[in-house]
């Protein structure tokens, strides 16, 4: 007889409702260096044999490759994607978790975070980049590029959106604390662990970094549909300057356009 499943630790009162969601062309910004064909290790040497040696050495500790071989504890090999466009990009988001985790994932298992709007993804990325610059007391302008990966979703997600989240519902509002990082992630990571244990597909939630924006954190690689690469975005940030839309522009076909689409 099959043993009864262990009841998750979190009380049911804190579990957000599940809503069926259909999102098209959501935006995930990924550093451009991960979009290069082949391997970035090729920049270290022109000798093909040395490149191959570096690739093999990297493979010993590369989390994505280890995950694809079933050697990571946080995600099973059967959950990852194979044989579809940009599968390595999707897999990396689940196997290369931050040492502190993210808002809705631990350091053992990543998630696919995306903004429903490009402006939202830009604001989220800019915030975290600025935090990194402040942490190391970087005084100069930092220029970097990210590629915009679009993906579609059609699944049920636990939904943290709602009129009471920023008003009078502390039991849900605590999952959207703005700081300090990583301490502000403690409650939301516990929620995510509970939801993952319950078989959740992920979470839809109001952006913490852009008022009116919406984000999705997908827990399942197989639900990240029709991934395709769109524009390249260039960020020009200074730690001593608040982020504004004129600090990012789209790079494409030799032309640039200030700010993400629809920004003011």
Residue-level pLDDT at 162: 75
d(CA 243, CA 28): 19
Residue 142 token pair: 């930092």
**pLDDT at position 56 over 90:** no
Q: What mean pLDDT is reported for the chain?
A: 82
Average pLDDT over residues 92-97: 92
The pLDDT of residue 47 is 55
Q: Let me know the angle formed at the C-alpha of 77 by 74 and 79, rounded to the nearest 5 degrees.
A: 85
The percent of residues in the chain predicted with pLDDT above 90, rounded, is 67
> Is 0.85 topped by the overall pTM?
no
Q: Is it the case that residue 64 has pLDDT exceeding 90?
A: no
Residue 256 has pLDDT above 90, yes or no: no
Mean pLDDT lowest for which of 72-86, 181-195, 230-244?
A: 72-86
Q: What is the pLDDT of residue 49?
A: 56
Q: pLDDT band at residue 74, thresholds of 50, 70 and 90?
A: confident
Q: What is the pLDDT of residue 121?
A: 98
118-154: pLDDT as tens digits: 999 999 999 999 999 999 999 999 999 999 999 999 9
Please give the Cα distance from 57 to 129 (Å, whole number): 29
Could you tell me the two tokens for 195? Answer: 């939801």
Of the chain, the percentage scoring pLDDT greater than 70 comes to: 73
Least confident span in 73-82, 97-106, 151-160, 241-250: 73-82
Buried/exposed 12-51: b ≥16 CB within 10 Å, e otherwise? eeebbebeebebeebbbbbeeeebeeeeeebeeeeeeeeb
Residue 262 in this model has a pLDDT that exceeds 60: no
| Residue 223 and residue 202 in contact, taking contact as beta carbons nearer than 8 Å | yes
pLDDT of 50 above 60: no
Please tell me the chain's helix, strand, coil percentages from 3-state DSSP, rounded to the nearest 5: 35, 25, 40
Rounded CA gap, 35 and 251, in Å? 15
Most confident of 84-88, 91-95, 113-117: 113-117
């Amino acid at each position: 007889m099959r043993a009864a499943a262990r009841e998750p630790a979190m009380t049911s009162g804190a579990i957000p409702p599940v809503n069926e969601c259909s999102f098209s062309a959501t935006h995930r910004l990924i550093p451009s260096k991960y979009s290069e064909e082949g391997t970035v290790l090729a920049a270290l040497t022109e000798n093909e044999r040395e490149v191959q040696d570096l690739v093999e050495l990297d493979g010993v500790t590369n989390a994505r490759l280890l995950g694809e071989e079933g050697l990571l504890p946080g995600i099973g090999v059967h959950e990852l994607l194979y044989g579809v466009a940009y599968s390595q990009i999707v897999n990396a988001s689940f196997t290369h978790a931050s040492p502190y985790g993210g808002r809705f994932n631990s350091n053992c298992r990543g998630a696919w975070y995306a903004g429903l709007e490009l402006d939202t993804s830009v604001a989220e990325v800019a915030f975290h980049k600025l935090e990194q610059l402040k942490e190391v007391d970087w005084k100069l302008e930092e220029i970097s590029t990210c590629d915009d990966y679009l993906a579609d979703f059609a699944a049920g997600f636990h939904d943290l959106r709602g009129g009471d989240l920023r008003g009078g519902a502390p039991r849900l509002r605590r999952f959207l604390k703005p700081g300090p990082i990583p301490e502000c992630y403690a409650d939301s990571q516990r929620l995510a662990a509970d939801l993952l244990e319950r078989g959740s597909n992920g979470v839809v939630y109001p952006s913490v970094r852009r008022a009116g924006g919406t984000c999705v954190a997908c827990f399942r690689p197989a639900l990240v549909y029709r991934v395709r690469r769109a524009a390249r975005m260039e960020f020009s940030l200074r730690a001593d300057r608040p982020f504004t839309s004129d600090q990012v522009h789209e790079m494409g076909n030799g032309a640039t356009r200030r700010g993400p689409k629809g920004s003011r």
